[in-house]
A and B are shown apart, each in its own frame.
Chain A
Amino acid sequence: MLKPVLRDPAALPRLALTLLALLLLWPGLRLSELNLAVLVERDNAANMGHFVAGFWPLAHDREFLQLLGRSILETLAIATAGMALALLLALPAALLASRALSLSAMHHGGRPAWWAQAGRWPVRGLLIVLRSVPEIVWALLFVRAVGLGPTAGVLAIAITYGGMLGKVYAEIFESVDPRPSRALLMAGSPRLAAFAYGVLPNAAAEMLSYTVYRWECAIRASVVMGFVGAGGLGQQIDLSLRLFAGGEVASMLLCFLALVLLADQLSRLLRARLL
């Protein structure tokens, strides 16, 4: 006799989805030529072990530490200078791209006139172009243009992060309470003043928090860009890797870790105080 079977009605769809995921994964594995077996092959394992074993002892002679300190400062300087330039680019672009200060939106029921809307598209397009090209590509470009060194890193960060900050700032401006700035505009205030008195007080905390987070990202990005010759800690890691100086690489990785940790703590502190 048939007993009333206790069966989860969701079981079959779940099984089907799992099979589908595996089926889709297979071509991916083939295309990426992933073969985990190479990791445990004797030669390869020995090679890797040799490489990792070279990481100990950590390099700590005076000359190297001086070099290390210099590259850390250089990395921080690249990230900070890049962010400063990015802000110069992002703030005006965000003001132009945002609808928050539209005068024509006031008496058109919140929607700007079509020509004002059309005027925002070129700025939005520019921001999209700036941030859609990865910073490493910009860095490669600028290394060709201005030669090896931190300048290329600064420029690459300024351009990519300018695009990101501009887009996010514009969205923050549009998401805060529009009534204060509208009231000021309707009392005859110029738009920039209405922005400073009506939008900025509400948007400042969120903007600062996002900017600090981006600064942390810029530190990491500047290390990556060092590998293509854009200066800083990354360039030193690349050099030491090529020289098989494992101890130096390990010291630098530790410093890098400390740097990211520091940035993370700083942004956490600021967020806790401001949000």
Chain B
Amino acid sequence: MSVSLSGVGLTHANGQVALSGIDLQVKTGERVAIIGPSGAGKTSLLRLLASNLRPSTGRISLLEQQPWQLGARQRQQLRARIGLTHQAPPLPPRQRVVTAVLAGKLGQWSLAKSLLNLLHPLDLPGAQAALARLDLADKLFERCDQLSGGQLQRVGIARVLYQAPELILADEPVSAMDPVLAGHTLSVLNEEVSRRGMTLLASLHAVELALAHFPRIIGVREGRVLFDLPPAAISREQLEALYANEQLQALPAAPLTAQHSLQIPRC
């Protein structure tokens, strides 16, 4: 079992409830898409799974370990086996792409090797291969501030592929790309993940992409799991219930305001 959550809830410091009563089991090698409206808690869920946030209630187990019962050192070792890509990858603007990609291995390298690598890239072929998989091989020595949002997202994916973790968590990995590129990038990511036997959880805005590329879909709304099904089993009604808020805005001045306005999730 790669990921196992039971009764997990997360309340932010300001008292806002982000997630409640989440039960989730993901086996090794599974590929799961998380969909849901904005503010539903997709990012919070991924950050929980990256042991980035500590759950307020419930039990969480990642790669057969319980991150919050480990010491700080063992927790860092566990984190090195989990890769999280961000919607807007946080890369220093002046850093070169090659350094940003090689930084994926910092958790596995010794400190001396990491510092030496900063002066002179130690694994050019590795970085080149990771970038080439995403059609960015020509950007190897560019600076990160010269890339577009979509290119930065692909650098983020290349970094996590170079890190080669056992569990990849992707937070809106293709949100800044055009539909064709987004589809292509998702299939590359899925291909690499299945080829290397990794586990993948990705949150996605685009429902069609999720349905087309992932064998298991989890719908999250207002911090709860609404459904957890293979794409073929998901009905149109379930999707409409998941995105009810966005339907409401598509129909201006509809007569069903009073009942539905209560359900608008806070962003």
Contact = CB atoms under 8 A, between A and B. Distances in A.
Interface in B111-152: 111, 114-115, 118
Given A186-B50, A187-B163, A202-B94, A197 B72 contact: no
Contact of B103 (A109, A184, A204): A184
A205 B93 CA distance: 12
B90 interface: yes
A190 B12 CA distance: 27
A193 B76 CA distance: 13
Nearest to B83: A187
B114 A107 contact: no
A247 interface: no
Interface in B47-97: 50-54, 72, 76-84, 86, 89-95
Contacts of A188: 76-82, 106-108
A204 B94 CA distance: 10
B92 A202 contact: yes
Contacts of A109: 12-13
A185 B72 CA distance: 11
Contact of A196 (B77, B83, B118): B118
A188 B77 CA distance: 6
A95 to B, nearest CB: 13
Contacts of A107: 52-54
Given A197-B95, A197-B106, A182 B83 contact: no
Chain B interface size, under 10 / 10 to 19 / 20 to 34 / 35 or more:
35 or more
Given A186-B79, A198-B92, A202-B94, A192 B103 contact: no
The size class of the interface chain A forms with chain B is 20 to 34
A182 B90 contact: yes
Contacts of B108: 188
Give the residue among A182, A186, A188, A198 with the most B Cβ atoms within 10 A.
Answer: A188
Contact of A187 (B13, B72, B80): B80
Contacts of A197: 92, 95, 99, 103, 106, 114, 118
A189 to B, nearest CB: 4
Interface string A196-222: 111001101100000000000000000
B72 A103 contact: yes
Contacts of B106: 184, 187-190, 193-194, 197
Interface of B: 12-13, 50-54, 72, 76-84, 86, 89-95, 99, 103-104, 106-109, 111, 114-115, 118, 163
12 contacts: A103-B76, A106-B52, A183-B90, A184-B103, A185-B76, A186-B50, A187-B80, A187-B84, A189-B76, A190-B76, A193-B111, A197-B99
Interface of A: 103, 106-107, 109, 177, 179-180, 182-190, 192-194, 196-198, 201-202, 204-205
